[in-house]
Amino acid sequence: MKVYQTSDIRNIGLIGGAKSGKTTLAEDLLFDGGVINRRGSVDDKNTVSDYRQIELERQNSISSTVMYTEANGKKINIIDTPGMDDFIGEVVSTLKVVDSAVMVVNAQNGVEVGTEVTGRWAEKNNTPIVLAMNHLEHENSNFDDTVEKLKNSFGAGVTVMQYPVSTGAGFNAVIDLLKMKMYKFSDDGKTEISDIPDDQKEKAEEMHASLIEDLASSDEGLMEKFFENGSLTEDEITAGLKDGIKTRNVFPVLCINAKQNWGTKRLLEFICNNTPAPNEVAPVKTSKGDDLPCDPAGPVAAFMFKTVIESHLGEVTFYKLYSGEITEGIDLMNSRTQNKERITQIYTFAGKNREKLDKIVAGDIGAFIKLKDTNTNDTLSNKDIKIDPIDFPEPKFRVAIKAKNQADDEKLGLALNEIHQTDPTVVSGYSKELKQLILQGQGELHLNIVKWHLQNIEKIEVDYLTPKIQYRETITKTSQATYQHKKQSGGSGQFGEVHMIIEPYQEDMPEPKTFKLKQTQRKSSVTPLSVSKGDSEVTVNVRGKEEIELEWGGKLVFYNCIVGGAIDARFLPAIQKGLMERMEDGPLTGSYARDIRVMVYDGKMHSVDSNEISFKIAGKTAFSMAFKEAGPKIMEPIYDLEVIVPEDKMGGVMTDLQSRRAIIMGMEGGTIKARVPLAEMNRYSTALSSLTSGRATYSIKFAEYAAVPPDVQEKLLKAHEEEQKEDE
């Protein structure tokens, strides 16, 4: 393949809902550009894009596929993305590196959830969009209605460039409002271009005039010329269209039948002529906040946006070259590791097929094979350049995972790390708190695909289990406890007595001074608990303070209020260690405790028998006693939830959320915002899909910890008690 210059490169992503026809369109574009000599089909399982075993079995795209085609003296890099929400990470990484997107719209279904979700990500990345309306040959297709729905979603910038002469079984021709010609398609793949027939002239002229007005309204300069002359010249239309697409003021609509390869050559021509080259879009930002122009003469900066592992090649890393030129034998530095990578070979890919390149210039997309330690989101450069990483979506579905054979535990860990490398939206890690290996992803289907991969490719049999919830324990009022640890068993004994007060911690609260409280005292490790009936006033004098930021969130504030040497200072770290052990294994359910102030204000020691272990036990036990008298509360993680749902399904979704203890924060259009406990979100993606026939999607993000309702706390305490009995 020849070396294409920056101005002759186009980078496009194919995005849209599932079953809209993206993979079939990719096949058409490669065929029209001469990269393949025969079009495959999803049904026949022989497309360039869907070549992986799992995709052939499911007949759905699971991963994005990097391809290219050539047309009109230009190279068009194409990334075909999955349409299902579970694999949105593939769309996000694609939109990071493409300069425009072709959104394929199913004319039967109009604007689907997949259309809206990918459209939002495109807006976030400021990616220009060309709308390709597909499936117009189906009897349920409705062009005009779909255009109106697109305008509701994308705004007034949705501009019809082509319209079908008829839809349904009679669809075989479109009127092109830019060229003012009719394109008629035949079953043998040929396209006849002719003048617009008389019965369409009036409609075409009206829509052509509307097209010019839409373009003029997208730019103040064009608007002035339009008012002065009553129209725009062909050059002004072309310039206005290209600029309007680049600035996302215009979203052109073209018509295709991807299955028959109708209209795709014109779409390819439109992409070449009107979508921006890499050096015509806003420059990428570096981690230092600087603009990096897309310039072949600039420093080399290659950003890794995708990693795949091919059975016959090993690790393949796809990158976009944002600046400079790369040739074989060049040494580049990884900005993350500061290690050098020797570039031995340069490739361009079309699915699983590759072609070797002598050189690649700024703006192009290529691939490296078997780099030493370079992964997705890394930058390779000959200068100190680091490009901002891809902002992948937060996980929203979780399971606990366990190898059926314990001997596979290490192998499972390595396999999950490798899966994360190829799909960063799959996140796994062992929770010391929950004592479970937690696997997270974008949905139940997403994690089922991970399970399929582990069992069929890695040959590791695994079970998915219900994950435990990371509860927290805290207190709501002040309490006091005294505990004396005394043990004598020949030789040196153990003795330590600790008096402490605990109270809830809040930011900016005043330093402790005087407390009125009921005292709880245990005189020894074997005598029963006795509680005094009267209130007691205790005044503390702060001699030392330590604020401990807890790994699991919140604080422990530890005060030394000992006066008169009642406890030697060398024993205070042991008391604090005892507190931390109990906070790591909370007194109520064994969950982490947080946000507590502890004042150790008195105690006793023995000149011979006192030691660190004695005061550690005394401090730990006194804390447990005080905790249980301080209005203890179990806290649960609360998440912000956003559900995008068709309006006709909102009632069922709202009812379901209310049954999950959700608090509805607001509704706008087709979006519900709520706060919901994580404990109620188990298998939510499956429930939502069932309620909406797969037409809804959602995202969640941690918000805060909040106290569980009394009835829920009672259930959790009983469950913990039963668990403790089983362990005994």
pLDDT for residue 522 is more than 60? no
pTM over 0.75, yes/no? yes
Interaxial angle between packed helices 444-456 and 684-692, expressed in degrees from 0 to 180 and rounded to the nearest 10: 120
* CATH number for the domain running over 397-468: 3.30.70.870
pLDDT for residue 529 is more than 60? no
Is the domain covering 636-712 a CATH 3.40.50.720 domain? no
pLDDT for residue 473 is more than 50? yes
Encode pLDDT of 164-196 as tens digits: 999 998 999 999 999 999 999 998 879 999 999
Which residue type does 444 have? E
State which CATH number among 1.10.238.10, 3.65.10.10, 2.40.30.10, 3.30.70.270 fits the domain covering 296-381. 2.40.30.10
Q: Predicted confidence band at 519 (pLDDT cuts at 50, 70, 90)? A: low
To the nearest 10°, the Cα dihedral for 252, 258, 261, 262? -50
pLDDT for residue 503 is more than 60? yes
pLDDT for residue 100 is more than 70? yes
Encode pLDDT of 270-298 as tens digits: 999 999 999 999 999 999 999 999 999 99
pLDDT for residue 524 is more than 70? no
Mean pLDDT in residue range 535-550: 88
SS3 596: strand
Q: How many CB atoms lie within 10 A of CB 359?
A: 14
Task: Output the six-digit token pair for 490.
Answer: 């020949």
pLDDT for residue 486 is more than 70? yes
Is residue 284 within 8 A of residue 322, CB to CB? The reply is: yes
3-state secondary structure 111-139: CCHHHHHHHHHHHHCCCCEEEEEECCCCC
Is residue 108 within 8 A of residue 99, CB to CB? The reply is: no
187-205: burial string, b at 16+ Cβ within 10 Å, e else = eeeebeeeebeeebeeebe
Is residue 615 within 8 A of residue 567, CB to CB? The reply is: yes
Q: Domain 473-631 is in which class?
A: alpha beta
SS3 17: coil
Q: In a 10 Å sphere around its CB, with 0-12 CB exposed, 13-18 middle and 19+ buried, how is residue 229 labelled?
A: exposed
341: which strand partners?
Answer: 332
Q: Domain 6-278 is in which class?
A: alpha beta
pLDDT for residue 49 is more than 60? yes
Mean pLDDT in residue range 287-313: 93
Encode pLDDT of 668-703 as tens digits: 888 999 999 999 998 898 899 899 888 888 999 999
pLDDT for residue 316 is more than 70? yes
Question: Could you give the CA distance from residue 116 to residue 252 in angstroms, rounded to a whole number?
Answer: 17
Domain map (residue ranges) of the chain: 6-278, 296-381, 397-468, 473-631, 636-712
Q: What pLDDT is attached to residue 693? A: 81
Residue 594 is given by DSSP the state -
Do the domains spanning 397-468 and 636-712 agree at the CATH topology level?
yes
359: which strand partners?
Answer: 327
Give me the phi and psi of 80, to 5 degrees please. -85, 125
Question: Could you give the CA distance from residue 105 to residue 258 in angstroms, rounded to a whole number?
Answer: 11
Encode pLDDT of 435-444 as tens digits: 999 999 999 9
Residue 86 is given by DSSP the state G
Encode pLDDT of 196-216 as tens digits: 999 999 999 999 988 988 888
Distance of CA 30 to the CA centre of its chain: 30
Q: What pLDDT is attached to residue 576? A: 96
Task: Output the six-digit token pair for 664.
Answer: 């509805």
Question: Could you give the CA distance from residue 257 to residue 347 in angstroms, rounded to a whole number?
Answer: 32
pLDDT for residue 157 is more than 70? yes
Mean pLDDT in residue range 11-18: 96
pLDDT for residue 532 is more than 70? no
Nearest alpha carbon to residue 60 among 79, 36, 40, 43 = 43
Indicate the pairing of strand 592-593 with strand 331-334: unpaired
544 Cβ contact partners less than 8 Å away, ≥ 6 residues apart: 559, 560, 572
pLDDT for residue 99 is more than 50? yes
Q: Which residue has the tokens 């391809």?
A: 67
To the nearest 10°, the Cα dihedral for 673, 674, 680, 682? 20
Is residue 174 within 8 A of residue 264, CB to CB? The reply is: no
Task: Output the six-digit token pair for 234.
Answer: 């062909």
Question: Could you give the CA distance from residue 522 to residue 538 in angstroms, rounded to a whole number?
Answer: 18
